[in-house]
Structure formats: C-alpha cells, structure tokens
Amino acid sequence: MKVLLLIALVVLIHGTNATLIIKGPTESILEGESVTLECLYTDSDLNVSQVHFEYLPPYQYSKTLWRKVWGSNLGRWYCYGGDDFYSEEEESSGRLHIPYPTRFSGVPFRCVSDNENATAPDNASEPLTFKVQYMRELSVSMEGYTSYLGVPQDLKVRLGDDVELKCSVSSSEEPSYYWQKEGNDWILPSSTLTLKKVSTMDEGKYTCMAEHPSVKSLTKKRTISITLLPGKLNGRC
C-alpha cells in the first residue's frame, strides 16, 4: 500500500521563525510494512540533532505523559517501557524506523526541540498518528473443546445432537463473518452456525470466512467437516 507523507507543523519560539515538522504515513498501512518517521526543520541551517521523538503510550491515564524515544545518539536499539524502536541517521534529518509498527497503531508521535530557549507547548510539533490494519488467523470454537485443543478439522458428532460453531478472529477492525456449506448456495451472515438435531443431511464441509471492513484483501477462512456417528435419536436406537 502506497504511503503518503503528512507534514505536521508548529512554530517554535527560540529566537527564529523556524518550523519543526514531523513526517509519517497519512494512510492506513498493512501489517508487515515498516514505518519511518522523520523529524526536521524547514530551516536547514538549524541542527536536527537538537530535537528528539516522543510518543504517548496507549492506555495512558494522562494525555501529557509523553515518553522520549531517542536522543542525539543514533544507530542503536532503545527500549522504553518495553517498546522497541530502531533509529537511523540520515544526512540533514533525524529518522525513526519502526520495523514492527502494529503495537503502535494509533499511538501519537511528535518531534520535540532540545533547545533550552524553547518551552512547551511551542517546542513540539503537532502529534502524528498512523493506523496499522491487520487480521490474525481465524479460530472456531465449540462447547466441549478447549481453546488450546480447538475444534478438529474433521468434527464427529452424534446423530440428533445440537451443534453450535462460533468463529472469531483478532482484527484491527471488527470483521464481517459468513458461513457457507459446500455444495449449497446459502450464505449465513453470522459468526455462529447452529445446527439443531443434526441428521445425515447436515453432513458436509462448512466454511467460515472473516472479511475486513476496510481492506478487502484481508480475509481468513476455516473449514470444518461434520461427520455423523451412530447414536440415539428421539429415544430410539
């Protein structure tokens, strides 16, 4: 997915009219794509090594407790509160490379001046956030099966039993769910498939599909084959 650059501007009061800017993605990115943020001045005469990146951790009680990501020593790994970043130095600009940005989706970042003459709030750029779209593997659950073992691909049930299968997936946005039986043209728009008093007509392969609402290429499927075992039906052998 093509990533455009957004420039967030704020005027700094430190003896000049220079503008501190931060660049980053303006559109949602797919999981697996790295993110590079750039911090620089519009006035190239100012030293970009005198600025640093900060971010606001998610679930923060206070919206003012920004954390510093890195300082003037570049090209090393840094860890702040369990969050890893990698920074790279590029001529005339400071850059922050985030190889695995999923956990930072929706987290505000900003550039902050280290100049002692600059004071808050005029020493920082406007916050920049980006969103990472993702979808994990789809799982199917059923009463009697633990989340550890999961529902087997070939599910054997007793004749006359009730069967309820529920599919779920971790996703950046709530997906749409659909069930479909192989060889049939019906589609059930639900995450739950319920079969009452199963008979031989209910045997077959059932597929659950999860579809991301914003990124149609993000879809996951899981197929369960239902096979009947001999058993009692309505009290008769």
Q: What is 139-229's CATH number?
A: 2.60.40.10
Q: What is the pLDDT of residues 137-155, one digit of tens each?
A: 999 999 878 777 778 999 9
Share of the chain above pLDDT 70, in %: 71
Same fold, 5-133 and 139-229: yes
Pairing of strands 29-30, 132-133: parallel
pLDDT band at 237 (very low <50, low <70, confident <90, very high): very low
Q: What is the pLDDT of residues 123-136, one digit of tens each?
A: 888 899 999 999 99
Looking at the predicted structure, is the pLDDT value of residue 31 above 80? yes
What residue ranges do the domains of the chain occupy?
Answer: 5-133, 139-229
Highest mean pLDDT among 16-30, 88-102, 103-117, 131-145: 131-145
pLDDT band at 95 (very low <50, low <70, confident <90, very high): confident
Q: What is 5-133's CATH number?
A: 2.60.40.10
pTM given for the model: 0.74
Output the pLDDT for position 183. 93
